[in-house]
Amino acid sequence: MPGSKLYTIGSLRGVKAALKEHRAIRVLAIGSSSTSGIGASSPLASYPARLEGELSKMFSDDVEIEVINRGVSGEIAAGAADRMRSTVAEVDPDIVIWQVGTNDALARVEVDRFSSSLDETVLWLKSHNIDVVLVDPQYTPSLARNQYYGEIVKSIEDIARKDRVPLVRRFEAMRYLAAERKARGYLATDQFHLNDLGYRCMAEHVARAITVGLIQAEVAPSNSSLEVSSTAKITPAQK
């Protein structure tokens, strides 16, 4: 599956402002068990910890990256939305990576309620000049047959498109791996959460979505999926 099909792009003005002002880029990772790191062998193998390293590879050496992990296992979107304001006040991020939807689908939170909570919070973040990247739920064959689960996945895609924010399509990536009979290599022993390799791949895709957004979003439609050179390096604007 082409890497460019794993995410959509959107303008990242908060990160661009940090680069222009020559200050550290602060990344807030918020979400549930996939953010807190269930299935990883250690906190250092979680996707937020990996993300800091992956982003450091994509920016020049004089760009400081800090990723703050605020994942809470089992949390639904409304819970994350409720604590978003206090967490933002504490962390003061330039960008929020929000892994969302799995627990809402499993708890059968009403789709309109879920969508409203997600949409309102994304718009609130953007109104405060904070960039947002959404990460949709994980895939399993049984959940893929669940119409309700599919509606949650689709609602995240719809909101990402409407609000013009990047979306990392984890569901599609894992579905592709399952079809290729490669999924077990990326899953923890519960066959649901990711393992160390899976979290590394998740971090790589999130980092690539950020990089592509910075390089190409200003000249491309918000729902485009485009390639970027693996050797591209992002540097601060010259004073």
Q: Model confidence over 8-58: pLDDT tens digits?
A: 988 899 999 999 999 999 999 999 999 999 999 999 999 999 999 999 998
Higher pLDDT, 144 or 122: 122
What pLDDT does 5 receive? 77
DSSP, residue by residue, 162-231: HHT--EE-HHHHHHHHHHTT-GGGGB-TTSSSB-HHHHHHHHHHHHHHHHHHHHHGGGS-TT------TT
Mean pLDDT of the chain: 87
What pLDDT does 32 receive? 93
Q: Is 69 left (phi over 0), alpha (psi -120 to 50) or beta?
A: beta
Q: Which CATH architecture is the domain 3-216 placed in?
A: 3-Layer(aba) Sandwich (3.40)
| Whether pLDDT at 7 is above 90 | no
What pLDDT does 194 receive? 87
Average pLDDT over residues 2-13: 80
Task: Determine what percent of the chain is predicted with pLDDT higher than 90.
Answer: 65
What pLDDT does 188 receive? 83
Average pLDDT over residues 90-114: 96
Average pLDDT over residues 211-220: 70
Which DSSP symbol is given to 142?
Answer: H
What pLDDT does 49 receive? 95
| Whether pLDDT at 227 is above 80 | no
Confidence band, pLDDT 50/70/90 cuts, at residue 2: low
Continuous H helices in 10-110: 13-20, 33-36, 47-58, 77-91, 102-106
